[in-house]
A and B are shown apart, each in its own frame.
Chain A
């Protein structure tokens, strides 16, 4: 599939071409799963984030879910001698632990797997999302200003985050996380050059 106007568009349109009538004939369970391997090459041409971001996401979500686990444990201990409780002892913290394993180990891995970005001459293109996959084109001339930021976790791994501000509402802040700091600064400088040179 060749997309002239939109680089990278068509990453969802994978697998066999299905007409609407096909959809109407068969229940959804028979539709082919649209997987990454079937995606057009544009997805693979785009850049991945730095792999360390997985650890940072795990740390951050681990902290929150750790708090959740402690709360669940306290609730469980308080209700230990409660005879009319709905769940037996240990089920609630156990569920939280399972939840933790999913969110802390699995989800960051998937998030990393499906994150791609590419800086092209006139636009920045982003693909991201595990459950809800989103493809965004940010035209460079729409950029209002740029931030490079680094929090404590990111500083530990020498990563940074590029935040692109536009005048839009939902996309007033487009965040590109998990870049090596020098990569973030390089991207920023390149975008900056396009914005400021445009006038000349």
Chain B
């Protein structure tokens, strides 16, 4: 493993030609030094760039157009930039595999050296499109944890070279594994691979003895209907619209056709008083939404069951489409408990697990219990070794109420000022928007009451949300990075936000704790991080 200096002119501008252009090197040579892509890459990239050129030149082929010469110039410029770019990209690209890492140097304008440690590599894919099959080349995509995009892409190498890379990486991984095993047998450490999240799939230990399936949560038909009752769907609107489209193009004729015969008195009522009609319409809309919600949810949650077997969660659910899923416990990052006001009132929660996998199918949020009571969730959490269902919540700083109400009242006032300046004619009505401000104040109180955290032995729980409440259970061993943040106003008020990143966390609804007093935030972070380190 030589120290690389690709930006220094020597190593990048004078490549070692000997190792690069011979396809099918032996593995010893492979781990020696930088290598180039297959020379046919140039041809393939050129072919890929041709449709763009054709598109630009299209007016020339079509007819004698007086402005077509402009396209000719654009095509010339395109060729002037794209062709050198293809060549320079090829010239700049280097990759090689050392015993500890895979190194890729790339980039024309922005140059990049990428180092991917061998034991972080989760998967290597070799892809061959028809053109590549024809030229006996392949695209190699190297995946690491956490991201669904390939971190290292080699476009293109010869197919033999691609297989060599994969084989040598796998061999190096087993060597690393063996060395770790050796260390463990000596007794210096436990196997690190156990604790690291980046254990490649091949290295995962198979379950030693087959365990019997332990049922964790099951839903009766009654419960499936109950879970449906908490849901609301607007899908029926799409249904009605498509129905109208097919039956009768004019909706008025459609409705008058609908209100016929025995419905005649209804029509009279609607004609007599539009207000009744509006009330009836709203009632119908709510009822339809609720009924659709029930039907959809029952279809999805019918006979929902989740069992634990061989350190994996097995899930089965569905009425019309039977869905099955498997979640290895190792892949579970944090657990999310969600409720809405109605569910909370009746004491029901929805449990989701956030997972991280090699491919997109395994990543994201998977339903573990659509509608469960707290006393059903608690044994579930205990069985999978998660954080307990938190009961004592620590509040955040009450100043958060003031910040929230000031922020949104400010926005309302700003919007009204804009209306006053630009559209003075609607201002006499628009100023009624000030009535929103008391609502904002009430919401700020609800938000404060619902926000809190609980620090336990296994990790941190965070609760947040005004109407729809989220509870995140973040195991300390699954945290990726620790972040404290405070904007200008928060710094003046002595407040900070705490965010612990986990693999596969939602970027939209982040498990972030807002407006904690700075001192508390620091001691919280301190105890969390020292626990994280102790797990080492």
- Is A24 an interface residue, CB under 8 A from the partner? yes
Is the contact region of chain B dominated by helix, strand, or loop, or is it mixed? mixed
Residues of A within 8 A of B397 (CB): 20, 23
Q: Which of the segments A50-58, A67-75, A136-144 contacts the partner chain?
A: A136-144
Q: Is the CB of A132 within 8 A of B486?
A: yes
Q: Is the CB of B503 within 8 A of A167?
A: yes
Q: Is the CB of A12 within 8 A of B101?
A: no
Q: Which of the segments A77-85, A96-104, A190-198 contacts the partner chain?
A: A190-198
Q: Is the CB of B356 within 8 A of A167?
A: yes
- Is B522 an interface residue, CB under 8 A from the partner? yes
- Is B37 an interface residue, CB under 8 A from the partner? no
CA distance A6 to B532 in the complex (A): 11
Q: How close is A2's CB to chain B, nearest CB, in angstroms?
A: 10
Task: Decide: A149 near B480, CB < 8 A? Known: A9-B525, A12-B518, A167-B147.
Answer: no
Task: Decide: A135 near B483, CB < 8 A? Known: A18-B494, A192-B117.
Answer: yes
Q: How close is A167's CB to chain B, nearest CB, in angstroms?
A: 3
In the complex, which of the residues A149, A169, A196 contacts B117, with contact meaning CB atoms closer than 8 Å?
Answer: A196
Q: Is the CB of B480 within 8 A of A171?
A: yes
Q: Which of A113-139 contact B (CB under 8 A)?
A: 122, 129, 131-139
Residues of A within 8 A of B144 (CB): 144-145, 165, 167
Q: Is the CB of B183 within 8 A of A149?
A: no
- Is A10 an interface residue, CB under 8 A from the partner? yes
Residues of A within 8 A of B120 (CB): 143-145, 195
CA distance A10 to B517 in the complex (A): 12
Q: Is the CB of A189 within 8 A of B3?
A: yes
Q: Is the CB of B517 within 8 A of A20?
A: yes
Residues of B within 8 A of A23 (CB): 397, 399, 493-494
Q: Is the CB of A133 within 8 A of B487?
A: yes
Q: Is the CB of B192 within 8 A of A166?
A: no
Q: Which of the segments B103-111, B285-293, B448-456 contacts the partner chain?
A: B103-111
- Is A87 an interface residue, CB under 8 A from the partner? no
Task: Decide: A147 near B492, CB < 8 A? Known: A23-B397, A169-B503, A171-B501.
Answer: no
- Is B136 an interface residue, CB under 8 A from the partner? no
- Is A156 an interface residue, CB under 8 A from the partner? no
CA distance A168 to B334 in the complex (A): 12
Q: Is the CB of B491 within 8 A of A34?
A: yes
- Look across to chain A and name the residue whose beta carbon is closest to the beta carbon of B483: A136
Task: Decide: A150 near B501, CB < 8 A? Known: A12-B486, A13-B522, A135-B484.
Answer: no
CA distance A150 to B6 in the complex (A): 11
CA distance A143 to B119 in the complex (A): 11
- Look across to chain A and name the residue whose beta carbon is closest to the beta carbon of B195: A141
Mark contacts of B496-536 with chain A using CB atoms, 8 A cut-off: 1 yes-contact digit, 0 otherwise.
10010111111100100000011101100111011011001
Q: Is the CB of B482 within 8 A of A136?
A: yes
CA distance A145 to B526 in the complex (A): 26
Residues of B within 8 A of A139 (CB): 480-481, 532-533
- Is B176 an interface residue, CB under 8 A from the partner? yes
CA distance A14 to B481 in the complex (A): 24
Residues of B within 8 A of A6 (CB): 482, 522, 525-526, 529-530
Residues of A within 8 A of B72 (CB): none
- Is B248 an interface residue, CB under 8 A from the partner? no
Q: Is the CB of B492 within 8 A of A145?
A: no
In the complex, which of the residues A148, A167, A199 contacts B119, with contact meaning CB atoms closer than 8 Å?
Answer: A199
Mark contacts of A155-169 with chain B using CB atoms, 8 A cut-off: 1 yes-contact digit, 0 otherwise.
100001000011111
Residues of B within 8 A of A170 (CB): 483, 499, 501, 505, 507, 510
Residues of B within 8 A of A165 (CB): 144, 146-147, 151
- Is A109 an interface residue, CB under 8 A from the partner? no
In the complex, which of the residues B5, B7, B522, B532 contacts A10, with contact meaning CB atoms closer than 8 Å?
Answer: B522
Q: Is the CB of B111 within 8 A of A200?
A: no
CA distance A147 to B7 in the complex (A): 13
Q: Is the CB of B398 within 8 A of A166?
A: no
Q: Is the CB of B481 within 8 A of A136?
A: yes
CA distance A141 to B510 in the complex (A): 23
In the complex, which of the residues B483, B517, B536 contacts A171, with contact meaning CB atoms closer than 8 Å?
Answer: B483
Task: Decide: A31 near B519, CB < 8 A? Known: A136-B483, A148-B113.
Answer: no
Q: How close is B324's CB to chain A, nearest CB, in angstroms?
A: 27
Q: How close is B535's CB to chain A, nearest CB, in angstroms?
A: 10
Residues of A within 8 A of B491 (CB): 12, 33-34, 133
Residues of A within 8 A of B107 (CB): 149
- Is A107 an interface residue, CB under 8 A from the partner? no
CA distance A133 to B503 in the complex (A): 23
- Is A172 an interface residue, CB under 8 A from the partner? yes
Residues of A within 8 A of B480 (CB): 139, 142, 166-168, 171
Provide a sorted-by-A list of 10 A–B residue pairs whose CB atoms are within 8 angstroms: A12-B494, A18-B494, A34-B494, A133-B491, A141-B536, A149-B111, A165-B147, A168-B146, A192-B101, A198-B192
Q: Known pairs A20-B517, A135-B484, A144-B116; list 20 more (Cβ under 8 Å).
A: A3-B522, A5-B529, A6-B522, A12-B484, A13-B522, A20-B398, A31-B492, A34-B491, A133-B491, A142-B197, A144-B144, A144-B145, A145-B116, A145-B117, A149-B107, A155-B7, A165-B144, A166-B481, A167-B146, A169-B510
A residues adjacent to B (C-beta < 8 A): 3-6, 9-10, 12-13, 17-18, 20, 23-24, 28, 31, 33-34, 122, 129, 131-139, 141-152, 155, 160, 165-172, 174, 181, 185, 188-189, 192, 195-196, 198-200
Q: Can you list the 7 inter-chain pairs with the closest CB atoms, starting with the nearest? A: A167-B146, A5-B530, A168-B480, A168-B501, A167-B503, A171-B481, A149-B112
B residues adjacent to A (C-beta < 8 A): 3-5, 7, 100-101, 107, 109-120, 144-147, 151-152, 176, 179-180, 183, 192-193, 196-198, 356, 397-399, 480-489, 491-494, 496, 499, 501-507, 510, 517-519, 521-522, 525-527, 529-530, 532-533, 536
